[in-house]
């Protein structure tokens, strides 16, 4: 109903009959619905979330991507009978199987689904697929892609043999699981005298493939199938009975729209859905549920009323202040950190920290007493919870002993938080303590830790041992053993060690974490420890210092050799440049000489031509002068005399 009330907004009375159910609810239920509506109002009016907002809230509300907000609605179980004697079109079955394969992510690369499936099955079988090839049931349990690929290649085989239609019985006789046809496994289930446990186990092993067979034979079933189980098999009637549930998953949208979508499903507004939903599963950031669990209803009510009356925007900063979850988790982180394995007596540290709080006369005595009592009680309760988690680890000793170091730490941490949430005592403390109080308690713990670590440090200095080996062992231990968990939610360190011991302790950042965050924190811790180890050895380890001097001398020698090589290279380059310059000068001289020779030849030719011209001119002048000498006696005759002389001639 809390989800359903979201759909009442701006629907023109479409769900009035549903709203009338409110008159039959108890006051506690109405109070819960009222707070749910307030939360819905906040979610609906929130602005887009930035990275800074996500760090503040410690969860993300963005739609799409990893850990997105969504709701899965599941209907009531239904029964379905599959007649194995009915005919089936091979192409239709192949189409439905390929549609299911398109939704699988763990397929190898290939141009088509057939190539992908051949590669996948080849990696499992290590041999070509034949009509009698059998797959182990473990392969079907590992992934749906294996069963779908096996079924696809079997159907392709029927197309190659030019069979357009087949019966389900044909498939049951040609599909081999654990060396036997699937039909033999079904016949075994009918043997009343067979061992009951063996029959149950056999049915459990073949159900995954029967589920895929149902997807291939029943149209439009795979898109919304939530779960399926085998009920019975009747060989005489040739019917396989199943029980299945259908589900609808909300599309990737903001939280408010996802809740409205779920409300529409709950109230039955989707007319195309002819079945009734009975359960809703939340999928998204788990810390959002914890935020709602520790919400302060009075603060929520007053905040929503003020926002509506003054028309103010909803902010993530205000949203974070409405829940006590941050204080609860910080207190739990603090108590968890105090109970870590250490040579330091945690109870003694808590007592010293409590004395430090009581010595502060600037605060009222009642408040000092309350904080000190809270600290002592918190450490005591954390020790009790850790003992319970130790008992749980002993109950699962076989699996716990085989865990890696990280898995063991995650096991203890998750157990501690689950026990803390069930106890509820941390929530009561969170309602009456502020961030300033937590900071004061932590400052007192820092003071107590400094006293203990200083005593250990002085004891270490007085002992006649190799301090370098001890420090290196501490560095190695710091890399291998996780002091505590990791999360970005922590706003303050729990332990502030002495500067001389900063290499042996680190700021503790506990909180709920994933394996990736845990590995990243360990890598950062390893890098920091390696750097600090190197700094320590450079300052105090004589062997390392001698190695460093040798390395420096070697580097200097290498630098000198490199400089000599560079000088030689420069000299060779200069010699080459000088040779090139000499060659260029010789070429230029040769070119100049050739040009001079050409010029001289041209001058000689010009001089010869001039001499010839002068000779020719002299000859012409001599000819002209001789002609004039010959014509001299006849130059005094008149024209008439000249004509008479020519005529007589």
**Considering Cα of 377, then 379, then 385, then 388, what sign does the dihedral take?**
negative
pLDDT at res. 570: 87
State yes or no: pLDDT of 220 exceeds 70. no
- Strands 176-177, 134-135: pairing is parallel
Q: Which residue has the tokens 């059998």?
A: 134
Choose the weakest-confidence range: 58-72, 146-160, 443-457.
58-72
pLDDT tens digits, residue range 488-513? 223 223 232 222 233 333 333 334 44
pLDDT tens digits, residue range 17-61? 555 666 667 777 777 778 888 888 888 888 888 888 888 888 887
Q: 7-16, 43-52, 369-378, 422-431: which has the highest mean pLDDT?
A: 43-52
Task: Kindly state the tokens that stand for 267.
Answer: 């109230």
| Residue 322 pLDDT class (50, 70, 90 cuts) | very high
Half-sphere exposure of 133 (CA within 13 A, CB side): 16
Task: Kindly state the tokens that stand for 415.
Answer: 């157990």
CB 90 within 8 A of CB 144: no
Burial of 440 (0-12, 13-18, 19+ CB in 10 A): buried
pLDDT at res. 164: 83
Domain ranges of the chain: 4-69+287-320, 73-253, 325-467+476-518
Please indicate, yes or no, whether the overall pTM of this predicted structure exceeds 0.85: no
**CA angle (507 as vertex; 330, 287 as ends), nearest 5:** 30
State yes or no: pLDDT of 118 exceeds 60. yes
pLDDT tens digits, residue range 410-425? 677 778 777 776 666 6
Task: Kindly state the tokens that stand for 88.
Answer: 């089936």
Q: 198-212, 531-545, 560-574: which has the highest mean pLDDT?
A: 560-574
Task: Kindly state the tokens that stand for 12.
Answer: 């023109």
Task: Find, among 236, 187, 237, 182, the residue nearest to 211 by Cα.
Answer: 182
CB 246 within 8 A of CB 90: no
pLDDT at res. 232: 82
pLDDT tens digits, residue range 295-319? 888 899 999 999 999 999 999 999 9
Distance from chain centroid for Cα 11: 40
CB 241 within 8 A of CB 233: yes
Average per-residue pLDDT for the chain: 74
């Amino acid at each position: 109903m809390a989800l359903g009330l979201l759909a009442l907004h701006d629907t023109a009375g479409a769900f009035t009959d549903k709203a009338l159910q409110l008159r039959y609810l108890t006051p506690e239920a109405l109070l819960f619905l009222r707070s749910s509506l307030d939360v819905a109002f906040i979610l609906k009016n929130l602005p887009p979330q930035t990275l800074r907002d996500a760090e503040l809230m410690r969860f993300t509300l963005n739609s799409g991507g990893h850990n997105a907000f969504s709701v899965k609605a599941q209907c009531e179980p239904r029964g379905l009978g599959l007649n194995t004697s009915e005919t089936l079109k091979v192409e239709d079955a192949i189409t439905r199987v390929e549609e299911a394969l398109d939704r699988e992510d763990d397929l190898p690369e290939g141009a088509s689904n057939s190539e992908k499936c051949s590669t996948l099955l080849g990696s499992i079988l290590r041999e070509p697929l034949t009509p009698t090839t059998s797959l182990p049931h473990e392969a079907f349990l590992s992934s749906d892609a294996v069963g779908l690929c096996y079924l696809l290649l079997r159907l392709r085989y029927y197309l190659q043999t030019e069979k357009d239609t087949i019966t389900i019985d044909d498939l049951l006789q040609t599909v081999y699981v654990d060396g036997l046809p699937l039909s033999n496994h079904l016949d075994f289930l009918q043997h009343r005298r067979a061992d009951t446990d063996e029959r149950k186990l056999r049915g459990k092993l073949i159900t995954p493939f029967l589920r895929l067979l149902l997807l291939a034979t029943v149209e439009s079933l795979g898109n919304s199938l939530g779960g399926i189980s085998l009920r019975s098999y009747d060989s005489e009637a040739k019917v396989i009975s199943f029980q299945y549930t259908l589900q609808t998953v909300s599309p990737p949208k903001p939280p408010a729209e996802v809740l409205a979508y779920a409300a529409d499903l709950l109230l039955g507004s989707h007319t195309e859905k002819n079945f009734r939903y009975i359960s809703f599963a939340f999928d998204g950031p788990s810390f959002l549920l914890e935020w709602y669990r520790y919400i302060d209803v009075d603060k929520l009510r007053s905040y929503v009323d003020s926002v509506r009356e003054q028309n103010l925007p909803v902010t993530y900063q205000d949203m974070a202040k409405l829940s006590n979850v941050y204080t609860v988790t910080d207190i739990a982180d603090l108590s968890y950190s105090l109970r870590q394995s250490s040579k330091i007596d945690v109870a003694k540290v808590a007592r010293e920290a409590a004395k430090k709080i009581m010595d502060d006369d600037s605060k009222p005595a009642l408040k000092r007493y309350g904080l000190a009592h809270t600290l002592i009680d918190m450490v005591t309760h954390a020790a009790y919870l850790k003992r319970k988690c130790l008992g749980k680890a002993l109950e699962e000793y076989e699996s716990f002993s085989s865990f890696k170091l990280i898995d063991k730490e995650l096991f203890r941490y998750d157990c501690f938080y689950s026990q803390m949430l069930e106890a509820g005592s941390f929530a009561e403390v969170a309602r009456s303590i502020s961030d300033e109080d937590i900071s004061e308690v932590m400052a007192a713990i820092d003071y107590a830790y400094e006293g203990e670590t200083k005593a250990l440090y002085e004891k270490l200095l007085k002992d006649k041992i190799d301090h370098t080996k001890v420090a290196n062992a501490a560095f190695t231990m710091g890399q291998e053993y996780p002091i505590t968990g990791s999360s970005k939610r922590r706003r303050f360190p729990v332990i502030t060690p002495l500067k001389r011991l900063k290499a042996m302790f680190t700021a503790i950042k506990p909180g709920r974490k994933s394996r990736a965050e845990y590995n990243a924190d360990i890598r950062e811790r390893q890098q920091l420890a390696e750097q600090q180890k190197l700094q320590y050895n450079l300052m105090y380890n004589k062997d390392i210092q001698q190695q460093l001097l040798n390395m420096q001398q070697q580097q200097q020698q290498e630098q000198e050799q490199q400089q000599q090589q560079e000088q030689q290279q420069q000299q060779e380059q200069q010699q080459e440049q000088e040779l090139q310059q000499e060659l260029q000068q010789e070429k230029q001289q040769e070119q100049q000489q050739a040009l001079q020779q050409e010029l001289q030849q041209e001058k000689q030719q010009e001089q010869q031509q001039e001499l010839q011209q002068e000779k020719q001119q002299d000859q012409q002048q001599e000819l002209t002068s001789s002609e004039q000498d010959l014509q001299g006696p006849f130059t005094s005759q008149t024209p008439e005399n000249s004509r008479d002389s020519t005529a007589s001639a």
